[in-house]
Structure 1
Amino acid sequence: MTEKFSQSTSLDQGADELTQTLNRYMALEGLYLLGAFCVPLLSLGDAVLVLWRVRQAQLRDTISLVLQCSQRIQQKYGMRQTDVGLKLRLKIGISAGRMSFVTVGDQKELRFLIFGQAVGDAWQAQNAANASDIILSARGWELCNQTRVRTRRLAGPVVKVGGMASRATGSTCDPLALPSVGILRPAVTLPPWCPLGQVLHKYIPATVVCAALVLQIDDGQPLECLSELRPVSCLFVKLHFAADVSRKQLCKGIQDSSLIISAILRPCKGQVNKICMFDKGCTLLCVFGLPGDKVPGESIHALESALRISKACVSRSTKLEAVSVGVTSGTVFCGVVGHRMRHEYTGRTCPPEAPVSG
Structure 2
Amino acid sequence: DVFKFAGDAVLVLWRAPPRELAKTISLVLQCSRQIQRKCGNRDTHVGQKIQLKIGISAGPMDLLVVGDRRRQYFLICGEALDEVCEAEELANAGEVILSATSWELCEQHRLRTRRLAGKRAVKVGGWHGLPVAMPSRRVSPGYRHGTDVLARTPRPGWWSHPALVFQLDDRVPLDLFSELRPVTSLFVQLHLTAGISTVDIRTLIHDASRMMLEILCPHKGEINKIVLFDKGCMFLCVFGLSGEKLPYESIHALQSAIQIFNSCSTMLLEIEAVSVAVTSGMAFCGVTGHPLRHEYTVIGQKVNLAARMMVHYPGLVSCDAVTYASSRLPPYYFKELLEKKMKGLSHPATLYQYVGITEKR
The answer to whether the superposition gives a TM-score over 0.5 is yes
8 Å CA contact 1:207–1:290 kept in 2: the answer is: no
Within a 5 Å distance, the mapping from 1:206-285 to structure 2 comes to: 206=161, 208-209=163-164, 214=167, 218=170, 222-278=173-229, 281-285=232-236
Q: Read off the aligned partner of 1:98 and give its amino acid letter.
A: P
Q: In proportion to residue count, which structure has more helix?
A: 1
Greater Cα offset, 50-59 or 142-151: 142-151
Question: Hey, what's the Cα distance between the residues in 1 that align with 2:43 and 2:157?
Answer: 38
Q: Which runs of 4+ in 1 moved over 4 A?
A: none
- Quote the residue 1:123 is aligned against: 85
8 Å CA contact 1:207–1:292 kept in 2: the answer is: no
Q: Read off the aligned partner of 1:334 and give its amino acid letter.
A: C
Question: Hey, what's the Cα distance between the residues in 1 that align with 2:115 and 2:132?
Answer: 27
CA change 1:92–1:286 in 2 (3 A) is same
- Quote the residue 1:137 is aligned against: 99
Q: Which runs of 5+ in 1 are unaligned?
A: 1-38, 168-172, 184-199
SS in 1 for 2:60: coil
1:98 CA displacement:
0.8
SS in 2 for 1:352: helix
1:68 CA displacement:
1.1
SS in 2 for 1:308: helix
CA change 1:46–1:208 in 2 (3 A) is farther
1:253 CA displacement:
1.3
CA change 1:123–1:208 in 2 (3 A) is farther
Question: Hey, what's the Cα distance between the residues in 2 that align with 1:89 and 1:146?
Answer: 27
Q: Percent identity among equivalent residues? A: 49
- Quote the residue 2:269 is aligned against: 318
- Quote the residue 1:110 is aligned against: 72
Aligned partner of 2:254 among 287, 303, 306:
303
Within a 5 Å distance, the mapping from 1:25-174 to structure 2 comes to: 39-155=1-117, 156-166=119-129, 174=132
CA change 1:221–1:346 in 2 (3 A) is same
**Residue 244 of structure 2 corresponds to residue 293 of structure 1:** yes
8 Å CA contact 1:95–1:119 kept in 2: the answer is: yes
1:148 CA displacement:
1.5
Q: Read off the aligned partner of 2:285 and give its amino acid letter.
A: C
Question: Hey, what's the Cα distance between the residues in 1 that align with 2:245 and 2:172?
Answer: 22
SS in 2 for 1:329: strand
Question: Hey, what's the Cα distance between the residues in 2 that align with 1:43 and 1:201?
Answer: 14
8 Å CA contact 1:327–1:355 kept in 2: the answer is: no
Q: Read off the aligned partner of 1:166 and give its amino acid letter.
A: G
Question: Hey, what's the Cα distance between the residues in 1 that align with 2:273 and 2:314?
Answer: 11
Question: Hey, what's the Cα distance between the residues in 2 that align with 1:320 and 1:283?
Answer: 12
What is the aligned residue count?
292
TM-score (norm 1): 0.75
SS in 2 for 1:97: strand
Q: Which runs of 5+ in 2 are unaligned?
A: 139-154, 317-361
Question: Hey, what's the Cα distance between the residues in 2 that align with 1:59 and 1:257?
Answer: 35
CA RMSD of superposed structures (Å) = 2.6
- Quote the residue 1:8 is aligned against: none
Q: In proportion to residue count, which structure has more strand?
A: 2
8 Å CA contact 1:115–1:277 kept in 2: the answer is: yes
- Quote the residue 2:326 is aligned against: none
Question: Hey, what's the Cα distance between the residues in 2 that align with 1:238 and 1:267?
Answer: 22
Q: Read off the aligned partner of 2:263 and give its amino acid letter.
A: A
TM-score (norm 2): 0.74
